[in-house]
Amino acid sequence: MNETSPGRVEGGGLLPESKRRSARPGPSRRTGLFVLLVFVIGAGFLYLNRHDEPEALPEWKPGPFDPPVQYAFIPEKSDCRDHLADATEDAEAKLVTCSEWTLHTNYKNGQGRQELDLTYGMSCAGVKADEDDCSSDIQLFDAASQVQIDDSYRQGVPLRITPDGHFISYFSKSWMRYVGWDLRAGQRKSISPRLDAETLNDLRSVNISPDGRFFTVAFSGTQPRLLITDFATGQTSTVPGFCRVLGLSQAAAVIAAKRACTDIGEDGSKDDTVTILNRSGLVTGEWKGRDSVNDLSPDGRLLVEVLASVGEDGKEHLVVREAKTGKVVRTLTLRLLSESSDAVGYGWLNNDEYILQAETPEPGGSFGYYRVNIRTGKSLRIRDLALSLGEKASLGNVRIKN
């Protein structure tokens, strides 16, 4: 029966009074109709706006990845670094402003495990005449490349790779902490506690032992500390009083570190003391160095420094020092190019060769990467690397193996 007006039915007749009262919706029925109406309107609103709130993506769980990473890079040009975070965003969204680290790998098509499980992560671009020779740039969306410290200051965050290209360390957007990643095993583990903007501002160095067994993260601030993580067990130990690591040897048997978190010591003088530790944090050597001392050799025997000039010849030099004592073993004159260039240290290729980049005198240019024999001083261009790898680069297994 369809109601057309109060008290009337189709055909013009009137209902008795008792029927008219019972025909009106009671309080409970009106409430039910109201709830139903709200539900329908709400469901329609959610349907029309279902794309405005995307579903949370499942956690990324990379599988085993056999090809070594040749290098990681941040592109030269990007809108990301010019974007200021919205002050209305929540703290975590505001903290990570860029995720631009990209992994460059070389491999044979169809050979080995390649289970990174990244959407659009890999495509084979031939690097030689053989179409099975592949090269891929894989953007690692979980790796932060820049963070917002406060409303006016942003800083980059490093990514590190072992010389064999099989272990990586980076600041994870999803975990909000530094992680170590064994690519071949497909395992990631925390190597730091959860970090906020203040703690990231105190970050001074991230390092991995050449064999990938130990990871370190060092902080300055009011409580300088060095975190050492055994990747096999996932256990992290803290060594207080150190705020920067200059390098780890195999199995972290030797660790070169600095106590001073600034260049100025307590007496107002420049403090460049280098301390040699074992992985338990015990001091085995200490000496006064210079701020340019850096990069411990894989065997833990040597440290190097790149100097713009020694004496009055105006040439650049590579100074090789004994790690435990600081004694100068040899000073090598750098001859990377026949034309003027600025040498920048990038780390050890092996126990006998050190990698340098030859930068142009003008900012932003590059003449390529070179390996320098620390015994003879002979330098050779690493032709498997392009002249320039991007705005920033972290080197792994630099030579393409066929």
Reduce the secondary structure of 245-273 to three states and give it as a string.
EEEECHHHCCEEEECCCCCECCCCCECCE
Pick the last residue of a domain from 55, 83, 101: 55
**Radius of gyration, alpha carbons of the chain:** 31
Q: Is residue 245 part of a domain?
A: no
Q: Is residue 299 part of a domain?
A: yes
Dihedral, 346, 189, 157, 213 alpha carbons, nearest 10: -20
Q: Is residue 364 part of a domain?
A: yes
pLDDT score of 126: 64
Q: Is residue 33 part of a domain?
A: yes
Report the half-sphere exposure of 14 (CA within 13 A, side-chain side). Answer: 4
Q: Is residue 38 part of a domain?
A: yes
Neighbours of 19 (CB within 10 A): 11
What is the tally of structural domains in the chain? 2
Query: Please, are residues 206 and 178 in contact by the beta-carbon 8 Å criterion?
Result: yes
Strand partners, 169: 160, 180
Which positions ≥6 away from 277 have C-beta within 8 Å?
Answer: 239, 242, 254, 255, 256, 257, 283, 284
pLDDT, one tens digit per residue, over 163-219 is: 999 999 999 999 999 999 999 999 999 999 999 999 999 999 999 999 999 999 999
Q: What's the token pair of residue 58? A: 């499942």
pLDDT score of 86: 46
Q: Is residue 188 part of a domain?
A: no
Q: Is residue 373 part of a domain?
A: yes
What domain range includes position 26? 1-55
Residues of the chain with pLDDT under 50: 1-25, 30-31, 33-57, 82-89, 91-92, 402
Pick the last residue of a domain from 55, 71, 99: 55
Q: Is residue 120 part of a domain?
A: no
Pick the last residue of a domain from 37, 55, 73: 55
Distance CA 13, CA 34 (A): 30
Which positions ≥6 away from 152 have C-beta within 8 Å?
Answer: none
Distance CA 380, CA 342 (A): 16
